[in-house]
Amino acid sequence: MHESVIVTGTYEPIPLDEADRSVAAFPVAQQLLLTDSWTGLIATDATLDLHQRAPGGVQGDLSIRGGSFDQTLVLVNGLRVNDPQTGHHNLDISLPMEMLSQVEVLRGAGSTLYGSDAVGGVINFITAKPEASELRLRAGIGNFGTNEQRAEWTEVFEKISEGLAVSRDFSSGFLPDRDYRNLDLSSDTILTSGWGTTNVLLAWGDRPFGAAEFYTYPFYYPSWERTRTWYGSIQQTFDDRTQVAFSFRRHTDLFDLIRDDPQYYENRHEDESWEAAIRRTEPLAGNTKLFWGVEGDQESIHSNNLGDHSRARGSLYAALDERVFHRFSFSLGAREEVYSMHSAEFSPSTAAGYWMNPHIKIHAAASRAFRLPDYTDLYYSDPVTQGNPNLRPETAWTYEGGIEWTNGGRIRVEATLFQNRVRDGIDYVLYPGNTIWVAANIDRLNLTGAEASVSVKINRHQLLKFSYTGIHGAQGALGGASSRYLFSFPSENGVATWEGSLPHGIIARTRVGVLQRYAASPYALWDASAAYNRSRLHPFLQLSNIANTGYQEIQGVVMPGRSYLVGCEMVIALPK
């Protein structure tokens, strides 16, 4: 339970308690036996809302502080992986959980640092540097025909380390046409040389799944979908001041409205995107630093429904940051991003923090963000949905202020008030007398909320955490029309989590969450897990939805009842 160092929402790595923005960090290593997916990590934070259509990371949408899933930017090692086709595929990251060291979340706007899409917040998946030469093998089985197999091989030498991982998760489904089969492969190579540090990451994923009712509520269709993802990146750090990076992502999506009759209605989409970046740090007088960067992005799509399209963006950002640890901090930044036809978005931000004494810190921030419409927003068409090629980009101002109190590290209390003022928000609306949902710009949407958490270290090995978020939304007039996604956020969400080590090598975690979505009934979920982590064999047990609650995170898509997964991990040390 050591102090986390974060890299998300800041211009250089800093301790978590020095952040001037609301940032959450979820270390992965100690949770590998207690959850089968990274989604189990973020479930302990009431500010984050994962709209899942199925377990196992199948077609999940993440929203932050009440924003839409399209307003969440997804990063891998600081490089964007958002899908230009649709935000429904943003979380197809193809990285087995064993490859991750930490998942970090910036709550609130982040366009100054990261560009388009960072309106509601940012989630950053950070890969782990291998620390030992070893082989990890894992297998598990559960109800609903669930089984998993995973393997991770790491080698560590003086100047090079390598990690290879494969993950397979399978379920025959708790309902007809709700089966899934996930396969992820990845390689992470880290080389130290006279040039500095080179990191090469390669990943591939394949996800076929039954998609009954995923998109067609209130009508039932036995649908089927398959997505595939190819991802590669290389990052070169020349010294403590200069980094260059390049990434490439290719994603395919095949959707059949009727599983056994593909010719009835089928969509095929293929999209590609790349990003190149140069980032630089310039130390100035005293504790002041100048951070600046240049980035370029290009994305294209080939689709039988959306057509063939491409667009490119270029951006330049700069920020001044002054920081004296455990005393004060201040940053002022701005980004100019130019996209197709010479249109541009300007995204300024400022943040400050002040330690009133060794135990109390206050912080505040204001920032502007934007999101370009994805290709589904612009061009999609089916019998009940119509895109709009004339959509304007979403823009938003986010304001927040908070206070943190800690008592020698044993008790930590955080509270933040925030407001997100969205203009030209993009959603699908249904006008009176019509039967087709049409993509449109919503004049305004104001989201005002409060988030609070209390963490208590019972002793060196046990942690108790309470987290709560409440959000109120106010929408501009729609002329009697209905919106599809804007008010699907939780108006109230509370989570209590206990985790720790018990005698005889037992580690355990339990979580109880109560959530109420806007204009819907509340529901509660209880999960628990335990494992033995001594010696080379690590048996584990994971229980989900213990109370067998009936619930839906997306309207019309029923989620599983009580389920279990039991298995064992074996660790084999390899000779050097």
> Cα–Cα distance between 176 and 426 in angstroms, integer?
33
| CA 526 and chain centroid, separation | 22
For residue 476, pLDDT beyond 80: no
How is residue 32 annotated by DSSP? T
Burial of 229 from C-beta contacts in 10 A (0-12 / 13-18 / 19+): buried
Through-space distance between the first and last CA atoms of the chain, rounded to whole angstroms = 30
- Sheet with 72-76, strands from edge to edge, namely 23-27, 100-107, 121-127, 72-76, 79-80
> Is pLDDT at 446 greater than 60 in this prediction?
yes
pLDDT higher than threshold 90 for residue 572: yes
3-state secondary structure of 1: coil
| pLDDT band at 99; cut points 50, 70, 90 | very high
Please check the confidence at residue 475 and state whether its pLDDT lies above 80: no
Decide which of 2.40.160.40, 3.40.630.30, 2.40.170.20, 3.40.50.300 is the CATH code for 5-213+230-263+273-573: 2.40.170.20
pLDDT of 544 above 80: yes
pLDDT tens-digit map of 122-143: 999 999 999 899 999 999 999 9
Q: What is the pLDDT of residue 479?
A: 66
Q: According to the model, what pLDDT value does residue 1 have?
A: 44
- The burial class, CB within 10 Å (0-12 / 13-18 / 19+), for 9 is buried
Which residues, 6 or more positions from 403, have their beta carbon under 8 angstroms from its beta carbon? 360, 361, 362, 363, 414, 415
- Residue 150 pLDDT exceeds 90: yes
**209 and 54 in contact (C-beta within 8 Å)?**
yes
Q: How far is CA 288 from CA 146, 307, 558, in A?
A: 53, 49, 53
Q: What is the pLDDT of residue 293?
A: 96
Domain boundaries, the chain: 5-213+230-263+273-573
This prediction has a pTM of 0.96
Q: Does residue 536 carry a pLDDT above 50? A: yes
User: Can you tell me the mean pLDDT for 80-104?
Assistant: 93
Q: Containing H/E element for 113?
A: helix 111-114
Q: Is the pLDDT confidence value at 21 over 50?
A: yes
Task: List pLDDT tens digits, range 419-443.
Answer: 999 999 999 998 888 888 999 998 8
Determine the pLDDT at residue 489: 85
Candidate from 72-81, 209-218, 369-378 with smallest mean pLDDT:
209-218
Q: How confident is the model at residue 2 (pLDDT cuts 50, 70, 90)?
A: low
The Cα 374–Cα 120 span in angstroms is 16
Q: Look at residue 18 and give its three-state secondary structure.
A: helix
Please give the DSSP secondary-structure letter assigned to residue 261: -
Average pLDDT, the chain: 93
H/E element holding 379? helix 375-379
pLDDT at residue 477 in the model: 60
In this structure, the chain runs to a length of 576
* 206: confidence class by pLDDT, cuts 50, 70, 90: very high
- Least-confidence region, from 306-310, 358-362, 481-485: 481-485
State residue 36's pLDDT score.
85
DSSP class of 374 = -
Contact 542, 529 (CB under 8 A): yes
Please, which residues bridge with residue 189 across strands?
Answer: 162, 200
Task: Output the pLDDT for position 249.
Answer: 98
pLDDT score recorded for residue 431: 84
Nearest residue to 331 via CA among 281, 355, 366, 297: 366
pLDDT at 434: 85
Average pLDDT over residues 173-186: 94
- The pair of structure tokens assigned to 55 is 């377990």
Which range, of 76-80, 336-340, 399-403, 516-520, averages the lowest pLDDT? 516-520
Q: Is the pLDDT of residue 56 over 80?
A: no
Residue 210: name the closest of 183, 181, 167 by CA: 181
The beta strands (E) that lie in 92-219 are given as 100-107, 121-127, 134-142, 146-156, 160-171, 180-193, 196-210
